[in-house]
Structure 1
Amino acid sequence: MPNSLPRPHIANHYLRASICGAERLGARREVLLADAGVPTAWLDKPEQLITEEELTRLIKTVWRATRDEFMGLSTSRCKNGTFALMADYCLDSASLGAVLRKSARVYSIACNNVDIGLDESDDNRLVFFRLSLEDTSLDTDHMLQEFLLLMWQRFACWLVDQQIPFATTRFNYPSPPHVNEYRAMYPTELQFNAEVCGFSLHEKYLHLPVVRSEAELAVFLKEAPAYILHRPDIDDSLRNRVRTLLASQSLKDMPSLDELAQLLHMTPRSIGRKLQEEGTSLRKIKTSLRQEYAIKLMSTENLSVADVSERVGFSETASFCRAFKRWTGKSPSQWPG
């Protein structure tokens, strides 16, 4: 909305996470925050949310201070200008698939600490873009790993000028305390404790044409990382519509595919086909909702395992325990409250 003030919505966690690499290299936090126009006192106010603009200025400040696009969070520096070089190299590509392959080639050569590449499609016609830090010892808050995944997803959407319904975003570490931020940043199914980090999408999106011009790219790079940090306003994918509808239902008695088709005024076959194209299924969406609700109950409510199992729709507690360990890597009895 014109003339409206930016709304703070980003967790305070990212203030410390953004500057810790620069501090490790000798930069003073007071100077970094002052240069970005962020009050130092906010570091001691965990409830203080920040805006996209404030985080954009802070990351730019860290880039300048460290001369490193990896913000001092990697064992191998990524020289400032690497992303711009990659973007310019990829701009004349005919399709998104070519961009992903070319970008992987550039970063494989320029950055020693990144495992990156486009893997072949699986039985569901999904392709996986692998994007992992090989040594995460300096990225203790996962800030750099988060940013890399976000950067490639948002840049891909920008190049083809549409919101791509990525199927999953995977992380090779447990669900972090600020996981709610992940759900806002990545409008996909989230998978933690995976072998590698990356994201998957239906192979048909690899054929989307690149539509941006050199002039548009110049603006994108000048304002970076503003677009990367900006959250899409609307997710109009069928996956999101189904998730929203199911989330309003009891997890113990979620509608079947036929019942869902009636609610959405679609045929069951068209729902299944469209969800498959978006890299998911009704079963996966239901599982994701149960997983999120179970973790929330186990973390915030004083309930027995049997009570949680029953609330999220499991008929047997043993089945719930097996599922919970598959989701989190821990049994319910080991889960921190």
Structure 2
Amino acid sequence: MTRTVVEKGTISLRLVDEALREWRARGLDESELLAQAGIAAELFGKAQARVPAQAYARLWRLLAQAMDDEFFGINPRRMKVGSFAFMARVALQEPTLGAALDSALRFLDLVFDGLAPRLERQGGLAAIALDQPAGQVCRAFGCFTLWMIVHGLACWLLGRRIPILSAELRCQAPDYVEDYRVMFTSNLRFARAQSRLLFNADCLELPIRRSERELKRFLAGAPANILVRYRDPQSHTARIKAYLRNLNAERWPDLEALSSHYFMASSTLRRKLALEGQSYRGLKDQVRRDLAIAHLDRTEGHFAELALELGFADTSAFYKAFKKWTGTTPGQYRALIHPELPPPE
């Protein structure tokens, strides 16, 4: 991840409000915290306001120190300061990512009350699942914060981003979800039976290659270094993905035409995307993946029709790409996320 991307990352003020919710509920003054974090109090009340990711990270650290809780006071039991560092050290000792996630999630299960995170494996899919009692209030901000912590650690352990296929939450959709779409995936599903973050299980067998020395640098930069995955909605990555989603795949422009759409040379657009860790080919692949998963979640249509809609030459090419994205075939994926449906004929 480049320094340019970190500096350009921004967070909606709506999430700052969420982060301060428990602090305010205790009747505590936030003005000093905001001043130290570099967040202007005048921004509150402005629905579209955003703050630098580094400012949000500073606020997170300040709240953690003041509350002795790295989880914003969301859970009845505190995630005491130092918990994330301990969890990261435990995970680092494991040989593979799967073992590291198992250890990290077992630790968090000991930390929290009424929130039992665990790693699920279902065929080619893996999930960070959160088991909550039926009567317990499910807060989207809490689920996404926990996933951000665990997923951020997992990405660091492997030295690369782990693509997220979809996020399912037990709660109803909150008023604001756009940063969650940018950070995690456009495939957000609410009012589901269980809260879980889905990804390809292939990465679970990958070895951990980080060292104790690298861990010290990682912890010194946390939580800012797990927030860099936030992208400004006005970044070229976000704008291009939104543009492609609004077009039929057969009408997607080549790089030259796309560059003209944004009034720049193709070499300039290619360089700007590279600074954001992306390529145009990779973005098209991500949009196809997200559209396919969204379609399968709606349980409608045939796979051949979907392959054509997404711009694949034939159904077999679509199957091959989908297996690469998710570790499963389209039929297996649909059966896993909708076990109530009869198996495909």
| TM-score calculated relative to the size of structure 2 | 0.69
In structure 1, the residue matched to 2:235 is none
Q: Which residue of 281, 288, 291 corresponds with 1:242?
A: 288
Relative CO higher for 1 or 2, CA cutoff 8 Å, sep ≥ 6?
2
Native 8 Å contact 2:186 2:290 kept in 1? no
Matches within 5 A, 1:131-170: 131-132=130-131, 134=133, 137=137, 142-170=140-168
The alpha-carbon distance between structure 1 residues 260 and 84, as it changes in their structure 2 partners (threshold 3 A), is same
Cα distance in structure 2, aligned partners of 1:27 and 1:43: 17
* Cα-to-partner distance string for 1:138-162 (whole Å, 9 max, x where unaligned): x75x322211112212221121112
In structure 2, the residue matched to 1:192 is 190
In structure 1, the residue matched to 2:126 is 127
What CA RMSD, in Å, does the superposition of the two structures yield over aligned residues? 3.5
The one-letter amino acid of 2:322's match is: L
1:271 is the counterpart of 2:318: yes
In structure 1, the residue matched to 2:104 is 103
Cα distance in structure 2, aligned partners of 1:245 and 1:119: 24
Higher alpha-carbon deviation: 276-285 or 224-233? 276-285
Higher alpha-carbon deviation: 161-170 or 3-12? 3-12
Cα distance in structure 1, aligned partners of 2:46 and 2:106: 42
* Deviation of the 1:86 alpha carbon: 0.9
The alpha-carbon distance between structure 1 residues 90 and 5, as it changes in their structure 2 partners (threshold 3 A), is closer
In structure 2, the residue matched to 1:28 is 29
The alpha-carbon distance between structure 1 residues 117 and 2, as it changes in their structure 2 partners (threshold 3 A), is closer
The one-letter amino acid of 1:242's match is: R
Native 8 Å contact 1:12 1:50 kept in 2? yes
Cα distance in structure 2, aligned partners of 1:170 and 1:245: 16
* Cα-to-partner distance string for 1:165-216 (whole Å, 9 max, x where unaligned): 2322111112222122221011363221122222122322210111211122
Identity %: 24
The one-letter amino acid of 2:65's match is: R
The alpha-carbon distance between structure 1 residues 188 and 118, as it changes in their structure 2 partners (threshold 3 A), is farther
Q: Which runs of 5+ in 2 are unaligned?
A: 231-275, 293-300, 334-345
Q: Which runs of 5+ in 1 are unaligned?
A: 247-251, 286-337
* Deviation of the 1:258 alpha carbon: 5.7
Native 8 Å contact 2:167 2:197 kept in 1? yes
The alpha-carbon distance between structure 1 residues 118 and 3, as it changes in their structure 2 partners (threshold 3 A), is closer
> How many pairs does the alignment contain?
277
| TM-score calculated relative to the size of structure 1 | 0.71
Native 8 Å contact 1:95 1:207 kept in 2? yes
Cα distance in structure 2, aligned partners of 1:148 and 1:274: 30
The one-letter amino acid of 2:153's match is: F
Cα distance in structure 1, aligned partners of 2:175 and 2:277: 25
Matches within 5 A, 1:108-119: 108-119=109-120
1:59 is the counterpart of 2:105: no
